[in-house]
Amino acid sequence: MAQQQYTEDNIRSLDWKEHIRLRPGMYIGKLGDGSSPDDGIYILLKEVIDNSIDEFVMGAGKTIEIRIKEKEVRVRDYGRGIPLGKVVDVVSKMNTGGKYDSRAFKKAVGLNGVGTKAVNALSSHFRVESVRDNQIKFAEFELGELKIDSEVEETSKRKGTKVSFIPDENIFKKFKYRNEYVVKMLKNYVYLNPGLTIDFNGEKYHSENGLKDLLEENIPTEDMLYPIIHLKGEDIEIAITHSKSQYSEEYHSFVNGQHTTQGGTHQAAFRESIVKTVREFYGKNYDASDIRKSIVSAIAIKVMEPVFESQTKTKLGSTDMGGQLPTVRSYINDFIKTNLDNFLHKNTESAEALQRKIMQAERERKDLTGIRKLAKDRAKKASLHNKKLRDCRVHLGDMKKERRLESTLFITEGDSASGSITKSRDVNTQAVFSLRGKPLNCYAMSKKVVYENEEFNLLQAALNIEEGMEDLRYNNIVIATDADVDGMHIRLLLLTFFLQFFPEVIKEGHLYILETPLFRVRNKKETIYCYSDEERVKAIEKLKPKPEITRFKGLGEISPDEFKHFIGNDIRLDPVMLDKSMSIEDLLAFYMGKNTPNRQEFIINNLKVELDEIVE
């Protein structure tokens, strides 16, 4: 084998935009098409909004206006405005920004001077405009290249900054902003910044009660074991309650306004401090899992110059609060020890309700102890990683951090479907879990069934979610079933499983339905895959005369070579989202309960609506 030459010709320097475009994952995590809340297009939006939020935090500008029309995004704040002489530099020169000066930004979200540069470099069109002291200046870029650098002019516009951009479709393939994800992001911003108003496409979002409002958004009042405990300090705010029906722990954690979806040192300290304080208050050494079972909570802290474990800032790595302040752990522990203890002493009804919940959890845990041991033994005997689960390499070595956001588990039905996906998957990031037959309808059953039922037990083990979401092994959980009656039924039973026992999988945006083509329309020159009858009709019109039409009856009929497209670059994922207007309990009762006549009426009425639309 000839030795590769290594000379000066092999060495090249990339400018800032070339490096970002060559390695976008280093700056914004995964790319995606907008079907996942952590896809790149939302990170771009967040990076721009973060700058406006930092203005509000520093006391400048109480309103942020956001418009998303088709693929263009516009963000306008009424803060201090970028210094006019630096308008171009702050969006196109790495390590340039006001946040390096702690006098101007004390506890900002972004401190590395990268955010808006990444947005600029990854946008087909980017425009920044700043107004200060009755003067205005703007600059326009294409793919990071400066095209227009305006002169400073007089203006009567209000001070502030306006940024508009269109993500580059060569990088973000067929992307689409989903309002549900954008609204959730914006609501978190207003919960963390009481007094701030965000106007999104004409709809205004505002919060007066901070994290208390956040919990009320995420848990119905009737499901709260006791009224929300809401405590605030100078650099910390917490909100806590327990759910009457939920099994798992649910945490919403934030640092300097950044949603740390993967937790970090502050969330770990929060969980630890709650256990310690509760034990001391009741004078009993309760098991930590019994104290935290069914907890629904939120914590937000402010840290000087926070250190995150990735550019997307989803996990805090800082161990101290900055400057001469104590460690994150001791700061949170001291606050909760004093304030939560005081609250429980003053609110005896809440304290008694919490203790009853802990004792109930203790009884249930002891009842399940033997079953859990048997379930784990069964999982080992079933050779989980060889028989049911075909794992991926993302959990090995250095790949874990770099590509964790891409880790995907396909839950399939039958050997043929799982075989097609297994042969065509990306073994680095995509795993396959094969179901045997239809899962059990677990509606209204206790957690005991998860351990007694082999399919549920092995699926829980594969996902590693028995003790909560912190160690979830796959960022994306994809239900991949046939588009027939049996496939739809299996899909419904799996949704029931997650809603009943692990609703946070859905709440945190990890569960998806895989869309696969129903038809293949082709002639000698071109092949078109169609996901609906409407697409089939259009394809036939395009490929005249009389193309060959194939109807796929199941996933197993799609060859591995074809399947590569449907779970690769052309993957279509439909996110499973919860409708806030109906509680999980009511949702399951209606669709999975014993009210068959009501469901029949619902199906007939909706079928009529769909038929009318087809006729029109």
pLDDT score for 213: 97
Q: What is the mean pLDDT of the chain?
A: 87
pLDDT digits (tens, 9 = 90+) for 228-276: 999 999 899 999 999 998 888 999 999 988 888 888 899 999 999 999 9
| Long-range own/partner contacts, residues 19-22 (CB < 8 A, 24 or more apart) | 20/117, 20/118, 20/121, 20/122, 20/144, 21/121, 21/122, 21/143, 21/144, 21/171
Q: What is the dihedral of CA 203, 209, 214, 215, to 10 degrees?
A: -140
Q: Domains of the chain by range and CATH?
A: 17-206 (3.30.565.10), 211-365 (3.30.230.10), 382-516+554-580 (3.40.50.670), 519-551 (no CATH), 588-616 (no CATH)
> In this structure, are residues 270 and 253 in contact, taking their beta carbons and an 8 Å threshold?
yes
pLDDT score for 310: 67
For 180, phi then psi, to 5°, come to: -60, -45
pLDDT score for 615: 42
> In this structure, are residues 519 and 529 in contact, taking their beta carbons and an 8 Å threshold?
yes
Query: First-to-last CA distance in the chain?
Result: 67
Token pair belonging to 480: 């991949």
> Rg of the chain's alpha carbons, rounded to an integer?
26
Ramachandran category for residue 377: left, alpha or beta (phi over 0 → left; psi -120 to 50 → alpha) = alpha
Please identify which residue in the block is written with the tokens 């963000």.
Answer: 75
> In this structure, are residues 455 and 439 in contact, taking their beta carbons and an 8 Å threshold?
yes
> In this structure, are residues 42 and 185 in contact, taking their beta carbons and an 8 Å threshold?
yes
Instruction: Give the integer Cα–Cα distance in Å for 147 and 27.
Output: 24
pLDDT score for 570: 83
CA angle (48, 49, 51) in 5-degree steps = 75
Token pair belonging to 515: 């869309």
User: Exposed, middle or buried by CB within 10 Å (0-12, 13-18, 19+), for 150?
Assistant: middle
Question: What percent of the chain is predicted at pLDDT more than 70?
Answer: 89
The better pLDDT of the pair 591, 346 is held by 346
pLDDT digits (tens, 9 = 90+) for 518-571: 999 999 899 999 998 899 999 999 998 889 999 988 888 888 888 888 998 888
DSSP string, 276-304: HHHHHHHTS---HHHHHTTEEEEEEE--S
Which of 273-282, 344-353, 484-493 has the weakest average pLDDT?
484-493
pLDDT digits (tens, 9 = 90+) for 488-533: 899 999 999 999 999 999 998 999 999 989 999 999 899 999 998 8
Residue 587 in this model has a pLDDT that exceeds 60: yes
**Confidence bin at 614 (pLDDT 50/70/90):** very low
Mean pLDDT of 276-288: 97
pLDDT digits (tens, 9 = 90+) for 53-106: 989 988 999 999 999 998 999 999 999 999 999 999 999 987 555 444 444 445
DSSP type of residue 102: T
**Confidence bin at 370 (pLDDT 50/70/90):** confident
pLDDT score for 616: 46
Instruction: Give the integer Cα–Cα distance in Å for 69 and 24.
Output: 24
Please indicate, yes or no, whether the overall pTM of this predicted structure exceeds 0.95.
no
**Confidence bin at 598 (pLDDT 50/70/90):** confident
Residue 308 in this model has a pLDDT that exceeds 70: yes
